[in-house]
Structure 1
Amino acid sequence: MSSVREIRADFDRVSMVVYQAYPDAIADVAVRQQKFGPPFSVGRMTWIKPSFLWLMHRSNWGRKSGQERTLAVRIRRSGWEAALGEGVLTGYEPKAHGTPEAWRQAFERASVHVQWDPERTVRGAGLPHDSIQVGLGRGIIQRFVEDWVVSITDLTPLVQKLRKHLDEGHADQATRLLPREAVYPVPVELVRRLGM
């Protein structure tokens, strides 16, 4: 476990941004309708990440097949916190779960999975603090689609611009254009549950 776990996000009083990468077919519908619709499936888990650079690491700056488009999905903070409140860590941790058996049972029932991974620099190197990603399962994904989404913005042009700066060796220019993120205030009752 790395030294610090914190949620960093672009947020205001009522909403926050999570990032997702999709193929054109899903992204086009989502941006046009400002809502996810077919071929997006509510029948399989979808992962949301408040860290832009973590998603860039994961999608290889939009170069991975099926992850060419980067969407900034602004959702209600009430929805995000509801998801965290139902979340179960993807691995057993004594402080959060007590016994391995208690964790296993909770994980199998959970509609939300929570995973921590090292945050990334603009060049993809691991940082000494972890970044959260949250998997929304079938039990909750409909709420995400119907109730939580405030707006959907296509950040693909920004990603292409950033990638060009990086390819040309201008990491400093890329860094200046990154979406802003600050430490998100996690409700105290969720800290232990999230293994923070």
Structure 2
Amino acid sequence: MPPQREIRADFDRETIVIYQAYSPQIAEPALDAQRFVPPFSFQRMTWIKPSFLWLMHRSNWGQKSGQERVLAVRITRAGWEEALAAGVLTSFVPGAFTSHADWSEKFANARVHVQWDPERSLRGAGLPCSSIQVGLSRHVIRAFVEDWIVGIEDYTPRVRKIYDFLQSGRADRAKRLLPSERVYSVSDEVRRRLLIDE
């Protein structure tokens, strides 16, 4: 059984891939510009997720309204690690904070929120390990869009192909199309603060 909390992602020496699902009205201009542009909102929190299957569960394989286009957004590891370093957990966990009041103050002032949710199987079942979500507030979204993004790829055709294989009982074919994800290591300080297992 894998550790309960670890970051698993598609990454290389310089970059990491995170996944987001948007309406065509937001996705198409972003693909054209290779960064997010209006009507993408710079005023509300945006959540980035390195787990492909977690986003598939959340967007119902790109079938939920407003989440029809699945984007693989490649960002710099420096940006990703900047976000993790600024992250505060979305709920109080004894041991991670000195007190509930300590957590409450840090969370209220956080520019980045971090949440752990059950990881998902290919068929959407909850797994006994967690997947990280990172929420970027309006204070860091500009940096995300203007400095961190290296490229944006439309994964929608791939998502539909995987989903079609699943629906027709060909899970083995579906599995072969999944993006490769492996454990992403972080500093001891970030690991302790975000409760990432060793």
TM-score, normalization by structure 2? 0.96
The equivalences for 1:33-182 within 5 A come to 33-182=33-182
Using the aligned pairs only, state the percent identity.
Answer: 62
RMSD: 1.0
**What whole-Å deviation, never above 9, does each CA across 1:53-82 have from its counterpart, x for those lacking one?**
000000000010000000000000000000
Displacement after TM superposition at 1:181 (Å): 0.4
CA–CA separation in structure 2 for the residues paired with 1:187 and 1:27: 33
- Provide structure 2 residue ranges, at least 5 long, that are not aligned to the other structure: none
Q: Contact 1:113–1:134 at 8 Å: present in 2 too?
A: yes
**What whole-Å deviation, never above 9, does each CA across 1:86-116 have from its counterpart, x for those lacking one?**
0000110112111001101111110100000
CA–CA separation in structure 2 for the residues paired with 1:87 and 1:116: 12
Displacement after TM superposition at 1:141 (Å): 0.6
Indicate the SS of the match to 2:133.
strand
Q: Contact 1:95–1:195 at 8 Å: present in 2 too?
A: no
Indicate the SS of the match to 1:50.
coil
Q: Is 1:187 the equivalent of 2:187?
A: yes
Displacement after TM superposition at 1:3 (Å): 5.6
**What whole-Å deviation, never above 9, does each CA across 1:110-167 have from its counterpart, x for those lacking one?**
0100000111110001112111000000111110000000000000000010110011
Displacement after TM superposition at 1:169 (Å): 1.2
CA–CA separation in structure 2 for the residues paired with 1:96 and 1:134: 17
2:122 partner amino acid: V
2:70 partner amino acid: T
1:128 partner amino acid: P
CA–CA separation in structure 2 for the residues paired with 1:70 and 1:132: 18
Runs of 4+ in 1 over 6 A off after TM superposition: none
Q: Contact 1:95–1:192 at 8 Å: present in 2 too?
A: no
The equivalences for 1:2-21 within 5 A come to 4-21=4-21
